[in-house]
Amino acid sequence: MSYFNTPAIKYEGPKSKNPFAFKYYNPEETVLGKTMKEQCRFAMSYWHTFTYMGNDPFGGATMYRPWDQTEDSMEKAIARVHAAFEFMEKMQIPFFCFHDADIAPRAATLKETNERLDVIVAVIKEEMARTGIRCLWGTTNAFGDDKFVHGAGTSCNATVFAYAAAQIKKAMEITKELGGENYVFWGGREGYETLLNTDTGLELDNLARLLGMAVEYAKEIGFTGQFLIEPKPKEPTKHQYDFDTAAVLAFLRKFGLQDFFKLNIEANHATLAQHTFQHELNMCRINGVLGSVDANQGDPMLGWDTDQFPTNVYDTTLAMYEILLDGGFTKGGLNFDSKVRRGSFEEEDLFLAYIAGMDTFARGLKVAAALIEDKVFEDFKAKRYASYREGIGKDIVEGNVGFTELEAYALEHGVTKNTSGRQEMLEMILNQYIMES
Ligand code: XUL
Ligand code: CO
């Protein structure tokens, strides 16, 4: 049975006027020694693509999908698996990401919920074997259910902490079963609404305890996937603890967890934290914790997480630039944590949205590769910081001098003339690469 009328999407090149074709994503084309498929490692988000029905705070569903046309929730879940794999095959998407709650409906008890997960995981495994599509990462949804009203690992209620741990345990087991290359922790409600009722010290200690238990359990079951923390500054809570890369790094280092976690950077989360997407990737890169990416974009006019498909080549260029400078993805990839707009409710819109996102990243990849090959910014930066490679600068870097020696130096030499940062010139060159590469 087929769920989609849209035919398989192929590469037709930049001259094509066919909306249902890739203009830039040419999976087998080599960029910096790897195929585009290997560089991008695109993934489909199960939740936005197969369970989102167009609901927003002001209205209900607008998307009535063929795979949802049954009342039986398990039948629906199985239909979704088949539809998801048909979609990924047609879109040439090699990976998927999922929350436990996306793939199987919750039951009244944890035991029954876990049994349902096992049924669906078996169906997913069959589809993975048939298609060769793989799991980029799994996670648990410990934020949607009403028991998580005050958080999961940071709940004031210890029995909720225990329940969250049980959910994570099962989600890790099924991620392992599906060969997931990473496991994600997004602190859905790990934050607070008011400090008047919140013991932040205990909550953060408990969050670290929960993550420590996950590290221990991974060893116990032999799960070798990479643990990833996904920062977000707000939404749903007013203040989320995993605010941004800097906050996550401080937390991991305080609790001695830094060797076990990398980060999953989401573009729209970066901008909610008043950072650029590139800033967050850059902070990860220089700290050796760039794990994976949730690809999307926000709307500059709206202050919330709109999770739009990425269409801004400027942003994807600078993101791919950081990723390539980091050596490219190893276990991570580009997961489209993106959803079609509520008004884009037709089947075709899902295909068009993914084509737009994949092409935008493919184009960004090629521009970034050209910038790196030509050492455009690297040569400029090397000259800009040249004073640290000789004389007093070299002594500073090598730790040969302290305040006394530096005072003596300053008294004798003063400072040399500063030179321009040439920002406008660099932005002009970047534009030229985006337009011409
Ligand atoms: C929420 C978000 C999540 C995580 C996984 O903003 O990004 O979907 O990626 O829980
Ligand atoms: Co995300």
- For every residue of 297-327, which 3-state class applies, written as one string? ECCCCCCCCCCECCCCHHHHHHHHHHHHHCC
Among 182, 189, 232, 242, residue to substitute to test ligand 1 (most atoms within 8 Å of Cβ) = 232
- Does the beta carbon of 232 lie inside 6 Å of ligand 1? yes
Residue 225: name the closest of 257, 266, 265, 178 by CA: 178
The catalytic position among 48, 100, 102, 269 is 102
Catalytic residue among 48, 68, 82, 99: 99
In 196-235, where do the E strands start and end?
Answer: 226-229
Looking at the CA of 49, name the nearest ligand. Answer: 1
At residue 294, the 3 state secondary structure works out as: strand
Which residues are bridge partners to 44 per DSSP? 96, 336
Whether the CB-CB separation of 90 and 9 falls below 8 Å is answered with yes
CA distance 380 to 393: 18
Index of the ligand 1 atom closest to the CA of residue 143: 10
Whether 322 is in the pocket of ligand 1, judged by its Cβ within 6 Å, is: no
Residue 146 pLDDT greater than 90, yes or no: yes
On average, the pLDDT of the chain sits at: 98
Q: What is the DSSP string of 233-254?
A: SSSSSSEESS-SHHHHHHHHHH
Closest ligand to the CA of 294: 2
C-alpha to C-alpha distance for 144 and 188, rounded to whole angstroms? 8
pTM: 0.98
pLDDT given for residue 332 in this prediction: 98
* Residue 1: pLDDT over 90: no
Q: What is the mean pLDDT of residues 325-345?
A: 98
79-137: pLDDT as tens digits: 999 999 999 999 999 999 999 999 999 999 999 999 999 999 999 999 999 999 999 99
326 lines ligand 1 (CB under 6 A): no
Residue 97, strand partner residues: 45, 137
| Contacts by residues 340-347 (CB-CB < 8 Å, ≥ 24 positions apart) | 340/309, 341/308, 342/54, 342/56, 342/59, 342/62, 343/62, 345/54, 345/62, 345/63, 345/64, 347/4, 347/5, 347/6, 347/65, 347/66
**Rounded to an integer, what distance in angstroms lies between the CA atom of residue 112 and that of residue 73?**
13
pLDDT attached to residue 437: 80
User: How large is the average pLDDT for residues 224-232?
Assistant: 98
Tokens coding 265: 């950077």
CA-CA-CA-CA torsion sign (251, 100, 36, 310): negative
Q: How far apart are CA 180 and CA 264, in angstroms?
A: 15
The protein residue with its alpha carbon nearest to ligand 1, atom 6, reads 305
List 22's β-bridge partners, or say none.
11
Q: What is the pLDDT of residues 262-301, one digit of tens each?
A: 999 999 999 999 999 999 999 999 999 999 999 999 999 9
Q: Are residues 305 and 268 in contact, defined by beta-carbon separation less than 8 angstroms?
A: yes
Compute the distance from residue 342 Cα to the ligand 1 centre, in Å: 18
Active-site residue 359, yes or no?
Answer: no
Look at residue 298 in the predicted model and tell me its pLDDT.
98
Residue nearest to atom 10 of ligand 1 (CA): 186
Q: Is the CB of 324 under 6 A from ligand 1?
A: no
Considering only CA atoms, which of 427, 361, 263 is closest in space to residue 23? 361
Which residue is closest in CA terms to ligand 1's atom 8? 337
Taking CA atoms, 65 is separated from 49, 51, 88, in Å, by 10, 9, 16
Active site residue 269: no
**Mean pLDDT across the stretch 385-401?**
98
Protein residue closest via CA to atom 5 of ligand 1: 186
Does the beta carbon of 359 lie inside 6 Å of ligand 1? no
Residues 167-222 have pLDDT tens digits of 999 999 999 999 999 999 999 999 999 999 999 999 999 999 999 999 999 999 99
Q: Is the CB of 186 under 6 A from ligand 1?
A: yes
